[in-house]
């Protein structure tokens, strides 16, 4: 925005200082030459052109900022993937909780990501595309995978206690020995999934697609909530058990 405006000449010193109190004279003596400078510069077209150039440069900077938005997004994703890949096979989080959530929020597929043995408690990955991902031995307690695609993923020995797996695709997933105590599976698709020795105690099984589950040998179903009609009889007839509930396993809540 151009803020310059043309000044009137301040006049001779005598007229400039006339009628003003004597104690102001020192200040006026300092101000008077600057008033002449302001008057002189306000009439320079060169300075006005420079101001227009300054405004134009701001416009150019804005254009470049938006034109490079795609490159900045790619760089952000590249850095997030570096965090995820560098921390592979490490027991701690290594910044992966934030990196994964950031990638997922930007719609980046996480297909085949290796998160084995990772500490990812509370990770938020709703609607994530995690087909063939490896969560073997990972700690994912209190996490959110609602509507996620975990088809063909390995959850072998993973800890998903109290996690949100509502409406999750677990088609052909490996859930052997997984701790799924108090997890919520409402509407989850378990077609062709392997659940041998998994602990589903106190979990919410409302509306699960179970008719084509591959195996439930040794699967603990103690205290499960809302099992679909016919599921318990089928599962117990195919090797599932109802062991005493783990005292440290709460009952699945009603939160979505």
Cα dist from 17 to 11, 20, 31, 39, whole Å: 10, 6, 11, 17
**Cβ(96)–Cβ(116) below 8 Å:** no
Residue pair 181/161 in contact (Cβ under 8 Å)? The answer is: yes
Read off the pLDDT band of 9 (50, 70, 90).
Answer: confident
Q: Residue 176: how many CB atoms within 10 A of its CB?
A: 21
* Most confident residue range from 28-32, 68-72, 83-87: 83-87
Q: Can you give the pLDDT at residue 255?
A: 46
| Lowest model confidence (mean pLDDT) among 59-63, 68-72, 103-107, 252-256 | 252-256
Mean pLDDT of 38-48: 64
Residue 54 scores a pLDDT above 50? yes
> Percent of the chain at pLDDT above 70?
74
The pair of structure tokens assigned to 235 is 């599962």
Rounded distance, CA 205 to CA 163, Å? 13
> Does residue 95 contact residue 114 with C-beta atoms inside 8 Å?
no
Where do you find CATH 2.160.20.80 in the chain? 73-247
CATH (residue range 73-247): 2.160.20.80
Furthest-apart CA atoms within the chain: distance in Å: 112
Give residue 34's pLDDT.
72
Q: Tell me the per-residue pLDDT of 161-179, one tens digit each, with 9 for 90 and over.
A: 999 999 999 999 999 999 9
Residue 254 has pLDDT above 60, yes or no: no
Q: Which residue has the tokens 């809302």?
A: 226
What sign for the dihedral angle of Cα 196, 197, 198, 203? positive
Q: pTM higher than 0.75 for the full model?
A: no
On whether the CB atoms of residues 109 and 130 are closer than 8 A, the answer is no
The sign of the dihedral angle between the CA atoms of 48, 51, 57, 62 is negative
* DSSP track, 36-83: HHHHHHHT-HHHHHHHHHHHHHHHHHHHHHHHTHHHHHHHHHHHHHHH
Is a pLDDT exceeding 90 seen at residue 91?
A: no
**How does 204-222 read in b/e, with b if 16+ C-beta sit within 10 Å?**
bbbebbbeebebbebbbbb
Condensed to tens digits (0 to 9), the pLDDT of residues 107-154 reads 999 999 999 999 999 999 999 999 999 999 999 999 999 999 999 999
Q: Looking at the predicted structure, is the pLDDT value of residue 253 above 50?
A: yes
């Amino acid at each position: 925005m151009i803020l310059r405006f043309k000044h009137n000449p301040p006049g001779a010193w005598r007229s400039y200082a006339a009628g003003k109190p004597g104690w102001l004279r020192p200040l006026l003596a300092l101000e008077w030459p600057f008033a002449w400078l302001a008057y002189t510069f306000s009439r320079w077209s060169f300075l006005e052109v420079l101001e227009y150039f300054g405004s134009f440069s701001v416009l150019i900077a804005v254009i470049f900022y938006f034109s490079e938005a795609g490159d900045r997004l790619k760089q952000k994703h590249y850095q997030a993937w570096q965090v995820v890949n560098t921390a592979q096979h490490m027991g701690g989080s290594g910044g992966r909780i934030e990196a994964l959530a950031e990638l997922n929020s930007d719609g980046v597929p996480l297909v085949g990501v290796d998160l084995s043995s990772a500490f990812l408690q509370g990770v938020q990955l709703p609607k994530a595309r995690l087909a063939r991902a490896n969560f073997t031995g990972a700690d994912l307690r209190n996490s959110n995978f609602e509507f996620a695609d975990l088809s063909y993923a390995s959850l072998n020995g993973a800890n998903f206690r109290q996690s949100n797996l509502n409406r999750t695709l677990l088609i052909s997933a490996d859930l052997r020995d997984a701790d799924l105590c108090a997890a919520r599976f409402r509407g989850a698709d378990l077609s062709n999934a392997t659940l041998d020795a998994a602990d589903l105690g106190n979990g919410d099984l409302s509306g699960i697609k179970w008719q084509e589950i591959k195996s439930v040998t040794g699967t603990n179903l103690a205290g499960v909530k809302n099992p679909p009609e016919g599921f318990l009889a089928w599962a117990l007839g195919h090797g599932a058990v109802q062991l005493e509930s783990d005292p440290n396993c709460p009952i699945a809540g009603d939160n979505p």
